[in-house]
Amino acid sequence: MEPCVLTDKNQFPTEEVIYSHIGKSKALWLSLFEYIHTNHSDFFEEWRYYNDGKTWLLKVSRKKKTIFWLSVIKDTFRTTFYFSDKAKQAIADSSISDELKDQYTGGKRYNKIRGLTIIYKNKRAVEYAKKLIAIKMSIK
């Protein structure tokens, strides 16, 4: 996996800093966050520096439920969603790529959850994120 680029603890990830790292992926960033702010106004975004990974991560949550984690990598960004086995059928039935479905079913378990990471290279990635947000919101 690509290493994160926001590694300076003293450099808060402002929009200017983020855009300088993600380059042409800015349009995908804006598309994802426009969707979130329009359709999920109750989501909360929080940047934090994590010493264990020596990087800044954005946690997007609703109440106490984490929706996804976001990290900035060279020339783009990625989001990681964590799902329990309750989401297995919804993920299998969704219109996300087979590669993402395989990533979930064959992925490493962290206790009772598995991760699913999207790297934003095209508009399809934003569509997959929307689908995963919907699945995340439907699982109790």
Domain borders along the chain are 15-79+119-138
pLDDT digits (tens, 9 = 90+) for 124-139: 999 999 999 999 999 9
Average the pLDDT over 69-89 and give the result: 96
Cα–Cα dist 30/20, whole Å = 14
Percent of the chain surpassing pLDDT 90: 92
What's the farthest any 2 CA atoms get from each other in the chain?
43
Q: Based on the number of CB atoms within 10 Å of its own CB, is 56 exposed (0-12), middle (13-18) or buried (19 or more)?
A: buried
Within its chain, how far is the Cα of 131 from the centroid? 12
| The pLDDT of residue 3 | 82
Q: Based on the number of CB atoms within 10 Å of its own CB, is 40 exposed (0-12), middle (13-18) or buried (19 or more)?
A: middle
Closest CA to 96 of 61, 51, 130: 130
